Amino acid sequence: MLHEKQVVSILNKHKKRDDWFLTEYSANPYEGCSCNCLYCYIRGSKYGENMSDHLSVKTNGLEVFEKQLRNRAKRNQYGFIAVGSSTDAYIEHEQKYGLTRGFLEMILKYRFPVFISTKRHLIKRDLSILREIDKAAILPDDLKSTLKRGVILSVSVSTMNEVVTNMLEPGAIGPLDRLNLIEELKAEGFLAGVNAIPILPYISDTDEELEKIVTASKEHKADYILIGGLTLFGNGIADSKTLYYKFLESYDQSLVTAYDRLYAGNFYASRSYQNELARKAKNLCAKHQIRTTIVETNSDNSQ
């Protein structure tokens, strides 16, 4: 069920630019997400629930968003806006309400750059306006010489295993469909890559499974691949840790004890595990010559 709500703010300013996604702002046209991913960081975190039956449309969102964009533009405070940071910008209700489309029209009007990560095909509806934003956006000074693009697009892939995907991401298109979408976006001339986030411990973090993700991303022309771990928040009935553990019990009960050891009461895996995942990711991406950052650096392995 979709609720309607009024909001006082839409555009959120980060304390600092996101190191991975290069975003300095976020804006969410909807509250909640119909992709309904069980591991979503929204569930149980400080950002609230992410259940499909708690979906809300921000009915005055466009008006509030334009006012905030106008004020930032007057001050020359340009930066990438993540549209859909705590929801998928292209949830099924976007077809009816068109808020994401309206947000993009405002972003184009005030010439801000945009970052979108999605798990749904509907983004193809907006390629014409995204192409205009890509050309017209005003970038922060330090990105003008290195990025030279006003649009960054991506899909998220946690595993290439369709069975696991269907269990964990019931409202999203399959992983292969997402990579096909990246290839289509690349063919349209966009900068587009893969967020391999979250990688699932003992499920998609093996050398074999990671290589499947990296190889498939390369084969589908992704510009980059970002690889990161799984966070598990909360102990409530609708929180990600609770829901993910139910998935583990159904998928492979023996993994429950392994996760208990790995997370040791924290919402993140051990530091040694994170370092090992980063090492494997770096080596695999070097092997397949795909960069691990959106902006190419001297340490990256360019395609």
Give all domains of the chain, ordered by start, each with its CATH number: 3-288 (3.20.20.70)
Q: Taking the chain, what is the end-to-end CA distance rounded to the nearest angstrom?
A: 45
Residues 6+ apart with CB under 8 A from 128: none
pLDDT digits (tens, 9 = 90+) for 49-86: 444 456 788 989 999 999 999 999 999 999 999 999 88
Does residue 93 carry a pLDDT above 70? Answer: yes
3-state secondary structure of 155: strand
pLDDT value for 139: 97
Does residue 301 carry a pLDDT above 60? Answer: no
What is the edge-to-edge ordering of all strands in the sheet holding 30-31?
Answer: 3-5, 56-58, 30-31
> Distance between CA atoms of 81 and 27, rounded to whole angstroms?
7
CB atoms within 10 A of CB 272: 9
> Distance between CA atoms of 300 and 285, rounded to whole angstroms?
9
**Which residue has tokens 């973090």?**
205
Model pTM score: 0.92
pLDDT value for 302: 41
Q: Which residue has the higher pLDDT, 34 or 26?
A: 26
Single-letter amino acid code for the residue at 172: A
pLDDT digits (tens, 9 = 90+) for 179-189: 999 999 999 99
The secondary structure element, H or E, covering residue 165 is helix 162-168
Using 50, 70 and 90 to split pLDDT, how confident is the model at 161? very high
> Distance between CA atoms of 108 and 221, rounded to whole angstroms?
27
Cα torsion through 156, 161, 164, 168, rounded to 10: 10
pLDDT value for 45: 52
